[in-house]
Amino acid sequence: MIAPQPITRLDDLVFDNRFIQELPADPENTNKRRQVYDACYSYVAPTPVAQPQCVAYSREVAELLDLAPSVCESDDFIEIFAGNRLSSGMAAYATCYGGHQFGNWAGQLGDGRAINLGEVINRRGKRWALQLKGAGPTPYSRNADGLAVLRSSVREFLCSEAMYHLGVPTTRALSVLLTGESVVRDMFYDGNPKAEPGAVVCRVAPSFTRFGHFQIFTARQDLKLLKQLIDYTIRTDFPELSVPGPNDSSVSLYLAWFAEVCRRTADMVVHWQRVGFVHGVMNTDNMSILGLTIDYGPYGWLEDFDLNWTPNTTDASERRYRYGNQPSIALWNLGQLANAIYPLLEEPNLAALQAALNTYKETFEQGWQAMMADKLGLQAFKPATDHDLCTDLFMLLQSVETDMTIFYRQLATINLDTGLADAQLMAPLAAAYYVPEQLTVAYQTQLCAWLRRYILRVLADAVPDETRRKRMNAVNPKYVLRNYLAQLAIDQAEQHDFTMVNELLELLRHPYDEQPDKAAFAAKRPDWARQRAGCSMLSCSS
């Protein structure tokens, strides 16, 4: 069969804007800030910008939309994805949602700086919603400007694509554009506002529905709209659940749907723990109903393994969203979603809802065990021995500054000979340590004792060592979007040099490959980046 020609004009994209066709609109059409009732969205107008310029686009995401590369290099592309005009079939709207922020109910939030452009149906029949982030105020902007700065936009663009190539469920990013206008931000909320270059990212996902979309209607006791949105979501985003059968009564369908959301969320968080990704702001408005990583704000990548680390200075005192807490926060968030859908189930179903929520714990535990077995190159996770093996490893990794990514990658290369002297045994791991003075003799002895235990455990599997290495290298990335690398790319982009943004995009297309000519990007964080803003500390200001 001859592959269809790619689309060479944006006006030829095919839209089926089901969200706005099937759900009620806010009757008011202005961008004025307000509380919006009885509606799932408001029509809005993106704010035109002076001099848009493309920083980078993702060719894989363009392919998902059937777009020819030439389209992404065109002036039309820049005008449309900067928000200056809509192409044929597009409709601009912002959606209404609420959410729990840092554990507290925050009321209406909504797309304060996201503007949806509609839903493309690609030639394989797949639905892709497009959304601009940073294209100006909407009714949901509260006291903020609806804009985004280049640094956070580059971070969102690169990380979305990096996560995808790492195999982590995520929203995607088509493009990042400079607007040619400046945006004032007080980066650390410390009275130092500064003009920064403004930017717009175009995000792409099957849908952008969040837990908070359901919560807002329950909070307002608008059960009619709650039911309408749930029915719509199941029909559109979970069509496999809608087939007639045991789930055809609405209560069992809702329970099956909620259990599926629990499963997907668990799967996503297992991946986060695997690659050392810390989301930073796991508020319920930042949780995708599809189990996708969404809303890349003050996220970060673990450098030295630390269960207590969070990149988000706004959360520095409580550390609610620290690395080691992500699995239990996801459960808490699912508990809030369960509260939101409970009014549609009757009292006798409370136990069933709890059982569905338990799906999260079960899926997470199973997924986590399988993931750890893969990371360590074991055939399967054997709880009797492997729980302790992991706990002891985490204790060792945490007690001296150890680069997580380098450690696991290098662990694949160790010599499986328990008779080696300590120095030889641990030599392949040397590149992972940040502070050589921390490697006391006592520490080395402990580490080597663990390594010998690990070797015996691996030998008990009796698989060829080559198999172990391959298994490990398929789940332990060589390259991640190290915080300081993103910052270096941003520093350059702020000087209108987009080379490094595009170089990182290319590098992170193949995170598990050795790419020897790019090995410098696999090195541990340089010392200058230890305390630099943007490298180790980020805030919600973006």
285 is catalytic: yes
Task: Return the number of the residue (178 or 376) whose C-beta is nearest ligand AMP.
Answer: 178
Task: Return the number of the residue (72 or 486) whose C-beta is nearest ligand AMP.
Answer: 486
Give the angle 7-8-13 at the CA atoms, nearest 5°: 45
Task: Return the number of the residue (292 or 376) whose C-beta is nearest ligand AMP.
Answer: 292
Q: Which of residues 143-202 bind ligand AMP (CB under 6 A)?
A: 144-147
User: Considering the complex, what minimum distance in angstroms separates the CB of residue 130 from ligand AMP?
Assistant: 17
User: Considering the complex, what minimum distance in angstroms separates the CB of residue 146 from ligand AMP?
Assistant: 4
Residue 115's beta-bridge partner residues?
132
By the 8 A CB rule, do 226 and 345 touch? no
How far apart (Å, rounded) are the C-alpha atoms in residues 262 and 337? Answer: 10
Smallest CA-to-CA distance from 478 within 536, 520, 450 is with 520
Selected range binding ligand AMP among 57-65, 106-114, 328-336, 427-435, rule: CB under 6 A: 106-114
User: Considering the complex, what minimum distance in angstroms separates the CB of residue 111 from Mg ion?
Assistant: 9
Which of 141, 233, 284, 288 binds ligand AMP (CB under 6 A)? It is 141
User: Considering the complex, what minimum distance in angstroms separates the CB of residue 208 from Mg ion?
Assistant: 10
Q: Where are the beta strands (DSSP E) in 17-73?
A: 41-43, 53-57
Taking each continuous run of H as one helix and of E as one strand, the counts in the chain are 17, 11
Which of 100, 113, 210, 524 binds ligand AMP (CB under 6 A)? It is 113
User: Considering the complex, what minimum distance in angstroms separates the CB of residue 479 from ligand AMP?
Assistant: 27
Burial class (CB in 10 A: 0-12, 13-18, 19+), 531: exposed
Site track for ligand AMP across 296-325, x = CB under 6 A = -x----------------------------
**147 contact choice in Mg ion, ligand AMP, none (CB below 5 to 8 Å, kind-dependent):** ligand AMP
Q: Which of residues 277-316 bind Mg ion (CB under 5 A)?
A: 286, 295
How far apart (Å, rounded) are the C-alpha atoms in residues 346 and 326? Answer: 31
How many CB atoms within 10 Å of residue 464? 8
C-alpha pair distances (Å), 107 with each of 168, 305, 341, 423, 499: 30, 36, 17, 58, 42
The footprint of ligand AMP on this chain (CB under 6 A) covers a number of residues equal to: 17
**145 contact choice in Mg ion, ligand AMP, none (CB below 5 to 8 Å, kind-dependent):** ligand AMP
| Backbone φ, ψ for residue 291 (5° rounding) | 70, 35
Selected range binding ligand AMP among 40-48, 49-57, 104-112, 249-257, rule: CB under 6 A: 104-112
The residue from 26, 66, 237, 285 that is catalytic is 285
How far apart (Å, rounded) are the C-alpha atoms in residues 414 and 435? Answer: 21
Structure tokens at 107: 């009321």
| Closest residue to ligand AMP in the complex (CB) | 112
Q: Which of residues 267-286 bind ligand AMP (CB under 6 A)?
A: 281, 285-286
Residue 182's beta-bridge partner residues?
197
The DSSP string of 456-524 is: HHHHHHT--HHHHHHHHHTTS-S----HHHHHHHHHHHHTT--HHHHHHHHHTTSTTS--GGGGGGGSP
110 counts as binding ligand AMP under rule CB under 6 A: yes
User: Considering the complex, what minimum distance in angstroms separates the CB of residue 480 from Mg ion?
Assistant: 23
User: Considering the complex, what minimum distance in angstroms separates the CB of residue 204 from ligand AMP?
Assistant: 18
Task: Return the number of the residue (36 or 281) whose C-beta is nearest ligand AMP.
Answer: 281
Smallest CA-to-CA distance from 134 within 120, 155, 108, 119 is with 155
Residues classed as catalytic: 285
> What is the binding site for ligand AMP (CB under 6 A)?
109-113, 140-141, 144-147, 281, 285-286, 295, 297, 540
